[in-house]
Structure 1
């Protein structure tokens, strides 16, 4: 019988959108290694290495630093389902699509919640978060560090101090910034921070790094019990609501990543190999060097866009270094430009969501793609596509970007 579909052979496309981006070749090579059994001593040694590596990536001393098997959203859901009991009061910081996602998950978990909001393209000042928290007295404060829907990075200094003052736990979604901007779990005092591989970490989607403070772990373990006594909690807090998910029950997953190695699921071996190599690459490059590389690539992208006569979206003071929003000029066909980029140059750039749909392009330069030549190629291609669609380009984006890189 003939092979109806044929072997997978995707185009060699340059992914310069808000994520996913092209994976580093070393990550792909690591993922081709042979599988091991989940309790093989070599496999559990790799698990321990992953925990140590990601402590460096998250800039934390947290013992509970490991992987959730699933996309970045699996990490988000695991954190929230394990922190939020039915009726818990949650304060959600929102200024983009992914703050709205936190709201939806909180609603599904039966939480009571309040929000502190900023218009898309802005951030919420910590003073406003503090005011809302002191008024609402939440059990959990949840926020997004870098929201790719708006390209803004939320300042988080003082979050942990505020939470300890009011007796709350904190959650930070750092999917879009981990490995590209400073994610300082200990400095922030954040109780749970989650990330993903498919953006600044330079890997494929499918594994969600997570770090959990001791105080958050203590709370989560206090929810570890069953009615029939099959699994019991070490804590005396037997009135805590049972975590409402089996797969995303962080108490059970932590037992799996502990020395006890209590079976919870079959570890995604290939993804663990990839996540391990992502972290090795980040730490070998050096965090500050890597952050500077992303910052320079993002600055070059913005300078190039402005040189061509385009305007950059959002507040420069809070822009993520790895994703740049660019206003789509009036009268220009958004889809036509992106189609030309893809079909003529094999480059993907991103459109937008919600109130920004059809109003901005989102161009990423992160992970393996936060490189001089890839930024220059993207700007050159964008200029050609803009001219082809009738936009009067005012200057050379490539020359402006080169000034940033060479300055």
Structure 2
């Protein structure tokens, strides 16, 4: 066997729906020295992460921290810990990731009810309220930005529905947090989770989470019930949380002042999560969202300038990703491969009914910037020219017009 050579990934400009190219500051932080999990520096860094993410989420929730694992780990932790077996869950579905929430809730032994709209649309608030009244769920679980369709579900009226009808409101903000408006307290969220690998500009592997006092009380009350079951010796009782690793009651105690051991914190990922939040807050939360909006508007104008059609209700499009319908005469997968091999640029396809029908082009995190947008549009024009006629310079010119107007 030959000796392995040093790891040497190719240079890529990641302009798909995520993961994206990380901020250099985040990558530098990940190479910092490791310390023990109870070292004063480490416990101090954990406290700082909590403070930073309260600002990122726009919340005063005490229980704000990160879950060690990808964004799906955060989703699983929230649903497994908030749902008891037999509870009713309501999941509005407008893309692939609504189906994911439903699947995870079913694995937590919830009685899951879904309502669906056509991909490319968002769910009307009236439809959600009608379902709440009909189903009477314990938990409403909703995606904010679903990258499979690029739609951004409005949340500002939904928290009031949860309060009115006594329903916990959980949101998966994996693809939207940091690049789109998000107001956890003002919108009445009880729980929300995200990931670093989209608008926050880091690597996958850490999932920020915030929990309202009401959500924490549900978690704590469940722990009290389970303690009583254990004392009674009924180890087979159905109410037990199905996961030790994702038990938010135990994780809260780990992040709390007593630092009760639950797992060994992923030190380098904690550094990354800290720097992701620090980059956002240093630039200014509103400024970062505006930068994502500008880059998204420029990319939208650019693909239209190339004569391409955009999928879905653009009025509800996420700031940070656009779905472009693959034109007739262009082999979608081969064109994506040419973007990667010839220009080192990655763009994405989609799932289910949109697989092979659209490309998804992201402008998020570190890549929500002018040069990345223009480079991607210039490369896409060259690839398209191999198959169909397109306006010369149409994409770059249209994007530049957006940037000129904003200057």
Residue aligning to 2:343: 345
1:58-102 CA distance string (max 9 Å, x none): 000100000000000000000000111111000101000000001
Residue aligning to 1:185: 184
Q: Matches of 2:240 and 2:36 in 1, distance apart?
A: 30
Q: Matches of 1:267 and 1:163 in 2, distance apart?
A: 33
Residue aligning to 2:123: 124
Residue aligning to 1:63: 62
SS of the residue 1:312 aligns to: coil
What are the within-5 Å matches in structure 2 for residues 1-400 of structure 1? Answer: 2-3=2-3, 5-224=4-223, 225-226=226-227, 227-229=229-231, 241-388=239-386, 390-395=387-392, 396-400=394-398
SS of the residue 1:82 aligns to: helix
Deviation at 1:127, TM superposition (A): 1.1
How many residues end up aligned between the 2 structures? 397
Q: Matches of 2:157 and 2:396 in 1, distance apart?
A: 39
Q: Matches of 2:349 and 2:369 in 1, distance apart?
A: 22
2:85/2:238 contact within 8 Å kept: no
Q: Matches of 2:2 and 2:172 in 1, distance apart?
A: 46
1:190-242 CA distance string (max 9 Å, x none): 10000000000000000000000000000001111344459xxxxxxxx9922
SS of the residue 2:293 aligns to: helix
Deviation at 1:243, TM superposition (A): 1.6
1:95/1:121 contact within 8 Å kept: yes
SS of the residue 1:165 aligns to: helix
Q: Matches of 1:193 and 1:109 in 2, distance apart?
A: 17
Q: Matches of 1:258 and 1:244 in 2, distance apart?
A: 22
Structure 1 unaligned segments of length 5 or more: list them: 231-238
Q: Matches of 2:238 and 2:107 in 1, distance apart?
A: 18
Kindly report structure 1 stretches of 4+ aligned residues shifted beyond 4 Å: none
Q: Larger deviation: 377-386 or 36-45?
A: 36-45
1:223/1:240 contact within 8 Å kept: no
When residues 240 and 107 of structure 1 are mapped into structure 2, their CA distance, relative to the original with a 3 A threshold, is: closer
2:23/2:201 contact within 8 Å kept: yes
Q: Matches of 1:247 and 1:106 in 2, distance apart?
A: 16
Q: Larger deviation: 129-138 or 209-218?
A: 129-138
TM-score where L is the length of structure 2: 0.96
Q: Matches of 2:50 and 2:105 in 1, distance apart?
A: 28
Structure 2 unaligned segments of length 5 or more: list them: none
Q: Matches of 2:122 and 2:205 in 1, distance apart?
A: 29
2:329/2:388 contact within 8 Å kept: no
SS of the residue 2:222 aligns to: coil
Q: Matches of 1:164 and 1:291 in 2, distance apart?
A: 28
Deviation at 1:2, TM superposition (A): 4.2
Deviation at 1:394, TM superposition (A): 2.8
Deviation at 1:248, TM superposition (A): 0.2
1:222/1:240 contact within 8 Å kept: no
2:13/2:344 contact within 8 Å kept: yes
Residue aligning to 1:233: none
2:120/2:313 contact within 8 Å kept: yes
Q: Matches of 1:257 and 1:110 in 2, distance apart?
A: 27
